């Protein structure tokens, strides 16, 4: 029986791609569990709703955020930090689902980082027009652990820069199901997300959800 070559092509493009020393794109790595991830996100944001945090400078972020896991990333006039409880409810953040931890540890291993055990999962929600300016993730105590970032919903353009703000910035298109892992020599590279374009995703409609896993403590 003949198979159309067309059907094999997505598999070919699922080869891991190195973005920089210590940074890998794993195309479609989370696709097989996308619905499971999104159902878990729905449960989490029922308990800990998305909110637009304030920057220390007093601006309101365009990306809405929530968290699950032992630690949650928050920002307000007092600064950026991790908190064990949701400031909105005073309750601990919802637990990190087993399925998240398993996926993320496998992705980290595939990118060359063994034994990644995240204690924090930041959930970012982008609607069209939302963006995340270039920044470093450096509020974590142990910078030897990588960062694992899972993209769901509308496509976005990830900006991946260098260790200083003025270094050249690569543009990496991120599609539903893509996973990016960066650590080691790349751990403190600047990164961000360009303004989300309008569109419709079959599972998420007009939204992009990003899950960013880190070892905070």
Binding-site ranges for Fe ion (CB under 5 A): 137
Beta-bridge partner residues of 126: 208
Please state, in angstroms and as integers, the Cα–Cα distance from residue 60 to each residue in 54, 73, 75, 140, 174, following that order.
Answer: 5, 15, 10, 22, 25
Smallest separation, CB 212 to Fe ion (Å): 6
**Residue 191 or residue 215: which is nearer to ligand SIN going by CB?**
191
**Residue 24 or residue 193: which is nearer to ligand SIN going by CB?**
193
Binding mask 130-159 for ligand SIN (x = CB under 6 A): --x----------------x-x------x-
Which one of ligand SIN, Fe ion, none interacts with residue 67, CB within 5 to 8 A by kind? none
**Residue 100 or residue 158: which is nearer to ligand SIN going by CB?**
158
Q: Would you say 120 and 149 are in contact if contact means Cβ atoms under 8 Å apart?
A: no
Please state, in angstroms and as integers, the Cα–Cα distance from residue 12 to each residue in 23, 106, 202, following that order.
Answer: 20, 20, 23
Other CB atoms within 10 Å distance of the CB of residue 89: 11
Q: Which residue is nearest to ligand SIN (CB)?
A: 210
Q: What is the rounded CA–CA span in Å between residue 162 and residue 202?
A: 34
Smallest separation, CB 195 to ligand SIN (Å): 12
**Residue 71 or residue 210: which is nearer to ligand SIN going by CB?**
210
| Run of H or E including 158 | strand 156-160
Residues lying near ligand SIN in the complex (CB under 6 A): 122, 124, 132, 149, 151, 158, 191, 193, 210, 212
């Amino acid at each position: 029986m003949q198979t159309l070559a067309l059907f094999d092509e997505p598999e070919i493009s699922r080869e891991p791609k190195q973005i920089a020393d210590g940074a890998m794109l794993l195309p479609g790595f989370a696709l097989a569990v996308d619905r499971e991830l999104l159902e878990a996100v729905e449960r989490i944001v029922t308990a800990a709703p998305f909110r637009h945090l304030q920057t220390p400078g007093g601006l309101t972020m365009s990306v809405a955020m929530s968290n699950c896991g032992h630690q949650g990333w928050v920002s307000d006039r007092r600064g950026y930090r991790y908190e064990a409880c949701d400031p909105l409810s005073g309750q601990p953040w919802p637990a990190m689902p087993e399925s998240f931890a398993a996926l993320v540890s496998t992705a980290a291993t595939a990118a060359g980082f063994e034994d990644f055990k995240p204690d924090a999962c930041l959930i970012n929600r982008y609607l069209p027009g939302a963006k995340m300016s270039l920044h470093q993730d450096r509020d974590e105590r142990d910078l030897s652990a990588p960062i694992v970032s899972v993209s769901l919903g509308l496509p976005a353009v990830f900006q991946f820069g260098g260790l200083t703000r003025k270094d050249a910035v690569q543009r990496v298109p991120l599609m539903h199901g893509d996973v990016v892992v960066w650590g080691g020599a790349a751990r403190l590279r600047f990164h961000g997300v360009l303004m989300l374009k309008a569109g419709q995703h079959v599972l998420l409609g007009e939204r992009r959800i990003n899950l960013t896993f880190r070892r905070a403590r």
